[in-house]
Amino acid sequence: MSKKSSVKINLAASWAAHLVALLVGVVLMPFVLHTLGDASYGTWIFINSIAGYSGLLYLGFGQTVCRYVSRYHARQEWGLLNEVVSVVLGVYLCMGTVAVAAAALLAWLAPSLHVWSGQSLIEIRLVILMLGLNVALGMTGSVFGGVLMGIQRFEIHRAVNIVAGLLRLVLTVAFLRAECGLLILSSIFLGLTILENGGHLLFAFQKVPTLSIKLKHFRLSALRKYLSFSAFSCLDLLAYQVIEVSDTVIIGLVYGAKATVPYYIAFRLCRFITKPVLQIGYVFMPRAGELHAGMEQHKLNQLVIKGFGFAFLLIMGFFIGAAFFGRHLLETWIGSGYESSFLLLLVLLGTQTIATPVEVLRSVLFGMGRVRVPALLYVVEAAANIALTLVLIGPFGLMGVALGTAIPVLVVEAFLLMPYALRQLGLEPGQLIRRALAPQLLPLVALWGYSFLVQSLVPLEAAWIPLLAISAGGGIVLGIAWLGGNWLRRNLEPQRLLQRKYS
């Protein structure tokens, strides 16, 4: 199988997994919300947001596994491959212990941390403990998922995720009830974490027969070597976790857990939309590392241009659809009473029209080993996020939280990270505009025209069938315009015209 075909298969597998995750999330979120009620669901969001800070314990080693396993597997350096896996697993066992201990402390302090209105304190404490155990098991098991991604077997990794996602849907619908609902949810999460990471472990050993986890592979010299890469990767992860969870934590502390629900609906829908597009960067990272190691700069730049342009096309297409039909989608999906989520969605999703394509550049830089500057810039973005959110939440409420997230993203990603990445790749901004962005304008204009006509001529109701039909039509219009634009560019190139003239 060629490397080009491998990238396509990996991308297709990632999209399939996230399509399933999207469908599961779309079904489960309103079901869980209406089963538990706003108060209990807000409590679940608040606890999970606090638990989200446990991602800091990964210390950036997740990307270390992927990057170094990719390199050592390609060179068949099995001793070094076993070394990096054993070192990271040892670190994660220690960090998992820290996570369980922190969960126990938080469970003990629960009465003084928050006012758990209408919630059983015993249930809250058990939920916190189970989420801590879930973090510990997920952390250690993620090493083997990193091995599968490092050897570019995304289809196996994503297939396990698909099975776990479908089981989560079935188990939640079958067993969730309002009474002890939070405990049931945390039990389902824990059980599926064990199943999912167990699957990754089995397949990692199957696909890498030389894989060995032994104490002799864990050496302090090796730990120091991998820390040199993971230190800045850790900063990047730190910033990501702060950006992901701080908004709902701040809202919960200022206005109470229930107030997080409208914002979380918009945030969650934004994540549903962007995650499949972000897979472009995740899949490109190990491939970029290979091309950079082989000094194939031309191929690397081609990969970047294609990935950046395609990410821009998809995220802008989603934004156009959300701008025209987002209100109807939210009402169909969640129900009435959450109208404020629409404007929040537009602000959050609008920032992703820049951040998501730039994430392709960030992933390529990490694949090349350029982690220092992107990580530091991400820390700046996270710090500005918290500062602006705290300043703007008072006068502007939930919209102030959204703006506090959006402004740092736009400034840092567009005006700092993107120019740096282009310099590292030897690309001019004009090249990126001509070769990555300009070809997407025709299909996006076609999609905008289609959406405008549908909104003007078709009376819309809060129902899934018309929304799905409109979405399918928009996808067809976008696809046909994109293929047509590519055909025109290929056939109107000066070289092609000269060949035809003299043939």
**pLDDT, tens only, 288-301:** 766 776 777 888 88
Q: Residue 10: pLDDT band by 50, 70, 90 thresholds?
A: low
Domain of residue 46: give its range.
Answer: 1-218
Q: CB under 8 Å to 306, separation ≥6 — which residues?
A: 436
User: Is 5 in contact with 147 (CB distance < 8 Å)?
Assistant: no
Structure tokens at 105: 């402390």
d(CA 22, CA 228): 36
Q: Which tens digits make up the pLDDT trace of 117-144? A: 667 788 888 888 998 898 889 888 888 9
Q: CB under 8 Å to 470, separation ≥6 — which residues?
A: 325, 454, 458, 460
For residue 87, give the nearest of 68, 113, 106, 100 by alpha carbon.
68
Give the model's pLDDT for residue 451.
Answer: 95
- Give 221-228 contacts, CB < 8 A, sequence gap 24+: 222/83, 222/84, 222/87, 223/87, 223/91, 226/61, 226/64, 226/68, 226/84, 226/87, 226/88
Asked if residue 136 belongs to a domain, the reply is: yes
* pLDDT at residue 365 tops 90: no
Same domain, 194 and 318: no
Give the model's pLDDT for residue 263.
Answer: 92
Q: How is residue 337 annotated by DSSP?
A: S
Give the model's pLDDT for residue 139.
Answer: 85
Asked if residue 503 belongs to a domain, the reply is: no
Average pLDDT for 103-108:
88
Same domain, 431 and 493: yes
**pTM of the predicted model as reported, rounded to 2 decimal places:** 0.71
Helix, strand or coil, per DSSP, at residue 355: helix
d(CA 88, CA 230): 10
Structure tokens at 411: 């400034």
More confident: 494 or 438: 438
Q: Residue 229: pLDDT band by 50, 70, 90 thresholds?
A: low
Q: Which tens digits make up the pLDDT trace of 169-208? A: 899 888 887 677 888 888 998 999 999 999 999 999 998 8
User: Is 322 in contact with 346 (CB distance < 8 Å)?
Assistant: yes
3: number of Cβ within 10 Å = 12
Same domain, 289 and 384: yes
Asked if residue 403 belongs to a domain, the reply is: yes
Average pLDDT for 324-345:
89
Same domain, 337 and 470: yes
User: Is 245 in contact with 53 (CB distance < 8 Å)?
Assistant: yes
Of the given ranges (229-233, 415-419, 430-434, 475-479), which has the lowest mean pLDDT? 229-233
Same domain, 257 and 303: yes
Place of tokens 């039509």: 473
Among the three residues 171, 200, 218, which one is the final residue of a domain in this structure?
218
Asked if residue 85 belongs to a domain, the reply is: yes
* pLDDT at residue 1 tops 70: no
Give the model's pLDDT for residue 342.
Answer: 94
Structure tokens at 109: 């302090």
* pLDDT at residue 254 tops 80: yes
Give the model's pLDDT for residue 203.
Answer: 92
Among the three residues 201, 218, 235, which one is the final residue of a domain in this structure?
218
For residue 142, give the nearest of 76, 78, 95, 184 by alpha carbon.
95
**Side-chain half-sphere exposure of 104, counting CA atoms within 13 A:** 7
Percent of the chain at pLDDT above 90? Answer: 25
Give the model's pLDDT for residue 118.
Answer: 65
d(CA 154, CA 394): 44
User: Is 319 in contact with 474 (CB distance < 8 Å)?
Assistant: no
Same domain, 71 and 111: yes
Give the model's pLDDT for residue 448.
Answer: 96
Same domain, 89 and 16: yes
Same domain, 31 and 113: yes
Among the three residues 182, 203, 218, which one is the final residue of a domain in this structure?
218
Average pLDDT for 338-350:
92
Asked if residue 444 belongs to a domain, the reply is: yes
Q: Residue 481: pLDDT band by 50, 70, 90 thresholds?
A: very high
Asked if residue 90 belongs to a domain, the reply is: yes
Same domain, 88 and 8: yes
Place of tokens 């104490």: 215
Of the given ranges (183-192, 240-249, 354-363, 424-433), which has the lowest mean pLDDT? 240-249
Place of tokens 């992107």: 374
Place of tokens 């046909």: 480
User: Is 34 in contact with 335 (CB distance < 8 Å)?
Assistant: yes
Give the model's pLDDT for residue 445.
Answer: 95
Find the farthest-apart pair of alpha carbons in the chain and give their distance in angstroms, rounded: 83
Give the model's pLDDT for residue 291.
Answer: 75
Same domain, 195 and 304: no
Which of 212-216, 227-231, 294-298, 453-457 is predicted most confidently? Answer: 453-457
Q: Residue 2: pLDDT band by 50, 70, 90 thresholds?
A: very low
Asked if residue 238 belongs to a domain, the reply is: no
Same domain, 296 and 441: yes
User: Is 51 in contact with 131 (CB distance < 8 Å)?
Assistant: yes
Same domain, 148 and 278: no
Percent of the chain at pLDDT above 70? Answer: 87
Q: How is residue 178 annotated by DSSP?
A: S
Residue 397 falls in which region: left (phi positive, over 0), alpha (psi -120 to 50) or beta: left
Average pLDDT for 111-118:
68
Q: How many structural domains is the chain composed of?
A: 2
Asked if residue 234 belongs to a domain, the reply is: no
Give the model's pLDDT for residue 357.
Answer: 92
Q: Which tens digits make up the pLDDT trace of 30-58? A: 888 888 887 788 877 877 777 766 666 66
More confident: 120 or 233: 120
* pLDDT at residue 246 tops 50: yes
Give the model's pLDDT for residue 502.
Answer: 46
Give the model's pLDDT for residue 419.
Answer: 94
Give the model's pLDDT for residue 297.
Answer: 83
Average pLDDT for 455-482:
88
Average pLDDT, the chain: 83
Give the model's pLDDT for residue 498.
Answer: 45
